[in-house]
Amino acid sequence: MDATGACIIVGGGLAGLSTALALAPMPAIVLSKAPLGLEASSVLAQGGVAASLGPDDDVALHLADTLKAGDGLCDAAVAHSILSAAPAAIEELIRYGAPFDRDAEGRLVLGLEAAHSRRRIVHAGGDGSGREIMRALVERVRNTPTITVIEGISAHRLIVEDNAVTGVVAEAETGPVLFASNHIVIATGGVGGLYQYGTNPAGSFGQGLALAARAGAVMADLEFVQFHPTALDSDSFPLKLISETVRGEGAILIDETGRRFMAGKPGAELAPRDIVARAVFAQLAAGHRVFLDAREAVGAGFAQRFPAITSFCQAAGVDPATQPIPIRPAAHYHMGGVNVDLMGRTSVEGLWACGEAACTGLHGANRLASNSLLEAVVCGGFVAESVASTSPVRRRKVHCDLQPIVPDDPAPVRQIMTRAVGVLRDGEGLREAVGTLFALARDHRAASDAAIVGLMIAVAALRRNESRGAHARTDFPCPAATPQRSTLQLEEAMRAAEALVPELVD
């Protein structure tokens, strides 16, 4: 399919749809694995969108909180640009039809979440922010004539010529399809599907990162995977998230004896996510069970304030108004991703990335709660601006061999990543993971894309001989004196793996 003049957007979540809408009237083609609004991580988001809208708040305070949570690795200039655009992003979402919660006087209700110094979380439907925002954007996208949505299709390979993209090969129900275009945006979400315990859809295992990595794009800060401290402890996959906002309303963390183990620690239950996740993990490792107790703080009002959480807790046999909620940490958000500048440009000409698949430098080593939906909307607009200002390049006709595509299967990778590249890491476990993932990445079978992403994360984690933010090494428990961001390409990661496990090299 010749899509020259159109922008191909790989991914149908908040970042992808925001980009498509901001591009109009430039033609855009959105490739989505599932029907819009059903499987994107954005739909599962509960907390909301962070924006400095309160009378006691401003961009400087929001920036200070973001930099503190990022533990020395945020790009301050990028962060300032994105956070400054937050109020306008909220207004844009309202124009799209997002039904944000308001008080009796019609003012936006602002919630409090961990590591925020002010109430600045704009939410919708109580704890259904992602669902309500996506519902509004999906309707707007479907009613925008310049946007073509193709559902039930998965991108598998970028066609690259002289370090410039010329197209993308995708798998549709009818077989492989080539879309010829030199304007391609990756907006595929995160990597939670690489872990046994995650809050992302099972199919979110970094496909966009694999696409970009195979095309030669530079990755950044891959080792930083955020584990949300409070996912409902159950046998389901993905695990259901218990929003940070519940702790913002006063809920506490206790063990099976009722002991509040975060009491007396800086920030207590509202400390940055990496700190709380490690504290919960330590309790579980010591043989305790961990619960989120909202009985006193929220009590009978829980169902009204958190209807979605109430529903899935009750389905698991727990009434949050009268019982503590069993929880555990779960892979939730990837601070790393495809290395991009503020406008979403990657190291490959004609390739952009935004949302969780991208690494702008906003989040640093640990994301501040509710900055992710904000980044998706704002950076979707930045990417659209950059794409629209870049003229299509006429290249010779694109040809490629459209062989049948092996379906992706991340299952073989999950146990490895959970055991060795999880909440706590060490050199021995990471080296073992690199060897195992290297073997899977080389065989070009169903697990190879997931293994490539896992391998690059493991190599980046092995190279970072310190503990910082969401990256915790038990053999290097202290931070290095000078914060340093990391970059990595696939070829470099494969060479590093070969050096560690030479017996696997032919």
pLDDT at 396: 59
Q: Over pLDDT 90: what percentage of the chain?
A: 83
Dihedrals phi, psi of 365, to nearest 5 degrees: -85, -5
Mean pLDDT of the region 214-219: 98
Does the pLDDT of residue 366 top 80, yes or no?
yes
**Which position among 247, 273, 278, 414 bears the catalytic label?**
273
Residues 301-351 have pLDDT tens digits of 999 999 989 999 999 999 999 999 999 999 999 999 999 999 999 999 999
Alpha helices in 249-343 (DSSP H): 273-285, 302-305, 307-315
pLDDT at 38: 81
Q: In what order do the strands lie in the sheet with 351-353?
A: 147-151, 28-32, 7-10, 184-186, 351-353
Mean pLDDT of the region 289-305: 96
Dihedrals phi, psi of 30, to nearest 5 degrees: -100, 120
Mean pLDDT of the region 168-188: 94
pLDDT at 122: 97
Walk me through the domains of the chain, giving residue ranges and CATH numbers. 233-328 (3.90.700.10), 405-504 (1.20.58.100)
Residue 395 is among the residues annotated as catalytic for this protein? no
Tokens standing for 87? 């109020």
Looking at residue 464, the DSSP 8-state letter turns out to be -
pLDDT at 444: 65
Does the pLDDT of residue 392 top 80, yes or no?
no
Residues 191-209 have pLDDT tens digits of 999 999 999 988 899 999 9
Residues 479-498 have pLDDT tens digits of 999 999 999 999 999 999 99
Do residues 251 and 297 make contact, with C-beta atoms less than 8 angstroms apart? yes
Distance, in Å, from the CA atom of 192 to the CA atom of 334, rounded to the nearest integer, reads 8
Alpha helices in 70-170 (DSSP H): 76-84, 86-96, 129-142
Residues 23-81 have pLDDT tens digits of 999 999 999 999 998 878 888 788 799 999 999 999 999 999 999 999 999 999 999 99
Residues near 117 by beta carbon (within 8 Å), at least 6 away in sequence: 61, 64, 65
Does the pLDDT of residue 504 top 70, yes or no?
no
Range scoring the smallest mean pLDDT among 55-59, 79-83, 160-164, 443-447: 443-447
Tokens standing for 305? 């304030």
Give the model's confidence band at 405: pLDDT under 50 very low, under 70 low, under 90 confident, else very high. Answer: low
Residues 117-159 have pLDDT tens digits of 999 999 999 888 999 999 999 999 999 999 999 999 999 999 9
DSSP 196-235: SSBSS-TT-S-HHHHHHHHTTPPEE-TT-EEEEEEEE-SS
pLDDT at 127: 82
Does the pLDDT of residue 256 top 70, yes or no?
yes
Do residues 185 and 352 make contact, with C-beta atoms less than 8 angstroms apart? yes
Q: Sign of the CA dihedral 89, 224, 220, 493?
A: negative
429 three-state secondary structure: helix
Mean pLDDT value across the chain: 93
Residues near 15 by beta carbon (within 8 Å), at least 6 away in sequence: 42, 187, 189, 354, 355, 356, 357, 358, 375, 376, 377, 379, 380
pLDDT at 99: 96
